[in-house]
């Protein structure tokens, strides 16, 4: 479904992403891990169109999206969350959902009409764990703790009915309970046939749900396979722990 062909992104003299190639098949849940600065978020920015690669190609369902504008890529069915969550602070949480629900893609999929955005927003928020009886969805986003903000970000991405969902460090800042409440949502998406890419630092939770793990280091892919075999790899251990010298 998604193919990254030898993509590089060079900033000045630093190669944030260095001739990276990978493939994500439809319906998979792929985890991307790696030490800080290994290029994970840059890769996501490249795929979602916020940055253009210095070289290489990105293909989505056979179509070349290397130079497509980010809003169009969203329209094609790729949706992502941001690592640094920045909602519209003075607006209530559910109002934050209005903007994604105003997206042309949402209207297309709904058959040309938007429907009641407020109701859809509240429903989606409830699904990701905003307790309806506590009226959490009505609180200004600025008053909500990180766990809720992360889930709001997830809800915004889901609202766009993506085929490919990319989650950038969703679990960071969440308590175990919150992670536990979000995992079923991700499972449900998988069962509906969605493809998911997750960048994570919290390996235990990730390994439980991922089909495949990709490890990045210094912009390059150093491992790609099942969780167990990837973590046995010497190079991966060296990347995370350093070598004994």
Residue closer to another protein (CB basis): 117 or 194:
117
Residues in contact with another protein, counted by CB under 8 A, come to a total of 32
Closest C-alpha to 86, from 35, 141, 36, 34: 141
138 near 94, Cβ under 8 Å? yes
- What distance in Å separates the CA atoms of residue 244 and residue 193, rounded to the nearest whole number? 44
Give SS3 for 65. Answer: coil
Q: Give the CA distances from residue 101 to residues 95, 118, 172, 211, in Å, rounded to whole numbers and listed in that order.
A: 10, 9, 25, 30
Rounded to a whole number of angstroms, the minimum distance from the CB of residue 48 to another protein is: 8
87 or 230: CB nearest another protein: 87
Least distance in angstroms from the C-beta of 42 to another protein: 8
- The answer to whether the beta carbons of residues 16 and 219 sit under 8 Å apart is yes
**Residue 140: DSSP 8-state:** B
Query: Among residues 102 and 175, whose Cβ is nearest to another protein?
Result: 102
The pattern of x and - marking residues 159 through 178 that bind another protein according to CB under 8 A reads: -x------------------
Angle between helices 176-191 and 146-159 (to 10 degrees): 10
Residues 23-52: x/- map of binding to another protein (CB under 8 A)? ------------------x---x--xxxxx
Q: Should residue 151 be labelled a site residue for another protein when binding is judged by CB under 8 A? A: no
| Residue closer to another protein (CB basis): 16 or 236 | 16
Which residues in the 177-236 window bind another protein by CB under 8 A?
none
Q: Residue 154: in which H helix or E strand, if any? A: helix 146-159
Rounded to 5°, the CA angle 222-203-185 comes to 115
Nearer to another protein, 74 or 215 (CB): 74
Least distance CB 144 / another protein (angstroms): 16
Burial class from Cβ neighbours inside 10 Å (0-12, 13-18, 19+) for residue 228 reads: exposed
Identify which of residues 156 and 221 has a Cβ nearer to another protein in the complex: 156
For residues 66 to 105, the per-residue mask of contacts with another protein, x marking binding by CB under 8 A and - elsewhere, is ---xxxx-xx---xx-x---xxx--x---x--xxx-xxxx
Interface positions with another protein (CB under 8 A): 41, 45, 48-52, 69-72, 74-75, 79-80, 82, 86-88, 91, 95, 98-100, 102-106, 117, 156, 160
């Amino acid at each position: 479904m998604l193919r990254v062909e030898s993509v590089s992104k060079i900033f000045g003299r630093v190669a944030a992403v260095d001739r990276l190639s990978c493939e994500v098949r439809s319906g998979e849940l792929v985890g991307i891990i790696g030490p800080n600065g290994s290029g994970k978020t840059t890769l996501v920015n490249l795929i979602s169109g916020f940055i253009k690669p210095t070289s290489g190609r990105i293909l989505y369902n056979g179509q070349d999206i290397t130079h497509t504008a980010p809003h169009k890529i969203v329209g094609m069915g790729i949706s992502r969350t941001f690592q640094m969550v920045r909602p519209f602070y003075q607006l209530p949480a559910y109002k934050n959902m209005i903007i994604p629900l105003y997206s042309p893609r949402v209207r297309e999929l709904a058959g040309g009409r938007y429907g009641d955005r407020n109701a859809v927003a509240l429903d989606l928020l409830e699904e990701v764990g905003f307790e309806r009886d506590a009226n959490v969805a009505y609180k200004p986003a600025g008053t909500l703790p990180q766990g809720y903000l992360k889930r709001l970000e997830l809800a915004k991405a889901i609202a766009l009915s993506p085929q490919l969902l990319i989650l950038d460090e969703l679990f960071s800042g969440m308590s175990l309970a919150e992670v536990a409440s979000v995992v079923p949502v991700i499972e449900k998406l998988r069962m509906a046939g969605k493809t998911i890419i997750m960048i994570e630092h919290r390996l235990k939770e990730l390994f439980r749900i991922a089909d495949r793990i990709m490890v990045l280091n210094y912009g390059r892919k150093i491992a790609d396979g099942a969780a167990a075999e990837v973590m046995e790899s010497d190079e991966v251990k060296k990347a995370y722990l350093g070598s004994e010298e």
